[in-house]
Structure formats: structure tokens, C-alpha cells
Amino acid sequence: MPRRKKDNGLKENPEQVNKEEVIEIPVGEYFSWAKNNPWRVMTVLLALILLGVIIFNPLGSSSSVSADKAGKNIISFINSNPNIEGEATLVSVEKDGSFYQATVNFQGQNLPVYLTLDGEYLLTGRPVSLDEQIPLIENTQTPPPSLEAIEVEEGNDASLGDENAPVTIVEFSDYQCPFCQRFWKDTLPKIKETYIETGKVNFIYKDFPLSIHPQAQIAAEASECVRSKGRDEKFWKFHDKIFENQQSLSEENLKAWAKELGTDITTCLKNGQFKDEVQEDFTYGSSIGVSGTPAFFINGILVEGAQPFEVFEQIIEEELAAE
């Protein structure tokens, strides 16, 4: 259960952005604060990158942007701001279907960003049209926003750990998301060893298949099919198998991997038995603020992106200390 809910200290500005207007975002003070609150960096950097995209690809432009140019302009824009303490660096930019998948490092955190190939859209889970009117945050000169914990429904999804553990982590994930795979590989094992296996954390998995990943929905349905025949233990084995072989995701391979676990999911997939259930997870996640993957709620506190173990550790320890 969440232990606190605080006012974020921000006020909405009723003004909207039109194409002809100059856009101002009060980001300097937030970047100065980011190193002490790394799990909030993602939201701030996305605001910067959005402005960067507008700068190097004006609204209404149909010209394409190369991966190299997109990456360089984003970094150039961030680092040219004199109010930002620290320097952002481009880790990588690579094509992922119809999008560029970029990783930007700021204050020691690798932050995932998706851009369309033409540079007209920035994605944090769904396309954000640069032709839409975008509400701005008023520069109230107040301190950066506080953490806000919300009530998160656990539902009847697969879980790891003691259901009565003092801390609950709810993950919203996409089986084809490279950053979800990174979390599974680099961070989840440490959380398991330190907190799940010691009875301090209950870890719950919810589906959030992004439309930009063509195999994500069917993979989510397949995992639910496996769970229906083998409960959570078999689910987690299948979950690990998918992430181990993410580059080979296909319906046929999903069926084959399920058979390796002694489960035939052919009929289950054909009938779309869990299609609606997967979409219910997605709809619910969207309703509570999930816009991209992976996303986590630690006792109701939102953490976005494939953050390192230390970020989870800090919040978990704070929650345990508050018990």
C-alpha cells in the first residue's frame, strides 16, 4: 500500500502552444535536481527532447531526419542550455522498425527515447503528435515536484514473492521492448536476490504491449495462455524464455517455447482467449499514468524506464523504513 501522497507543487497553465508561438519550458532547475531523484529524470528529459525535435524539424515539415542528425541535435540542444548542470551524451541510436530507438545518458542514467524516422513524433509509449496543442507547465519558481504515490490495483496477475510483503512492485512491460529486456537482465535479478527472496517485496507483472512492437500483443497473450495451464511458476519460466530470445519472437516460436514447458497454447492463441485481458492491463496502465515501458509502481510510486538497481533500492529502503 502507498505510504504517502503529496502535492506535486505544479500549476497548470491554461495557455496552449500554437505552431507560431515560441515554446519555453522551465527545465534548468529540474535538471539540477535530477541527480538526486534519478527516477524522475525521464519525464524532464523528454520535455527537453520534445523541444529539440521541434527545433531541428519544424512543425509541418515533411523532411526526413537521419539517425545521426537526430541524435546530434538532441544532445546539442540539451547541452547548449546554460541552466542545466551536467552534460548529456548520446549512447546509441538505432532503427527499430518504423522508429529510431535512442539512448541518452544524463547524470549517470541511460534514458530511452523513441523518434519516428521523419523526426515528427516523439514516443514515450504512444505517438505524441507535434501538430497537437501541447499544454505547458507554468514556471512557478517552486521546488521540483515531490513523489506522489497512488493506489494501484494488483488484480489477478502473475507475481513473485510473498503477497503479504511490505513492498509491492507492479511492472507494466512489453515483451518486445528492448528496455524491458534490459531491466529483466540487469536489474530484476538483483531485486529478486535482495528483496523478493527475502520476503520484503512482492513483484507483479502486467502487460503493456506497445503498438510499435508487432509481436508484443501475441507474446503477452501467449504468456497468459501458459499461466492458465501452469500457474505462476510456469508463467515466469515462459516470461524468462521470451526475454532470453527476444530477437526471435514470432507466434511459431512462442508455441514451440510453450511446448518445451509441456504446454500447448495453439488453441488458446487461435481463440484469442486472453486478448481482452491483455488489453485491460494496457487500458488500466494508461489510466494511471503509464505511457511507455517498462514502468513500475513501488508502493504506488511511479518509476519509469530501465533504471539501475540503485534507483529501486533507494525507494524500497525508504518504504521499508516507513513501515
Sheet arrangement for strand 201-207: 159-160, 201-207, 167-173, 295-298, 301-304
Cell of 296: 513500475
Domains and CATH numbers, the chain: 12-137 (no CATH), 159-321 (3.40.30.10)
Per-residue confidence in pLDDT tens, the chain, 323 aa: 444 433 333 333 333 333 333 223 333 333 443 444 444 444 445 444 444 443 344 434 456 778 888 777 767 766 776 656 678 888 888 776 667 777 777 766 667 667 777 765 555 444 444 443 333 332 223 333 336 789 999 999 999 999 999 999 999 999 999 999 999 999 999 999 999 999 999 999 999 999 889 999 999 999 999 999 878 999 999 999 999 999 999 999 999 999 999 999 999 999 999 999 999 999 999 999 998 899 999 999 999 988 899 999 999 999 999 98
- Cβ-based neighbour number of residue 190 at 10 Å: 14
C-alpha of 159 from chain center = 19
Those residues whose C-beta lies under 8 Å from the C-beta of residue 148, and which sit 6 or more positions away, are 5, 6, 7, 8, 301, 302
Q: Nearest 5°: phi and psi at 88?
A: -90, 145
CA-wise closest residue to 265 among 217, 224, 234 = 224
| C-alpha to C-alpha distance for 103 and 121, rounded to whole angstroms | 16
**Residue 287 to residue 302: CA distance in whole angstroms:** 13
Q: Are 317 and 196 in contact (CB under 8 A)?
A: no
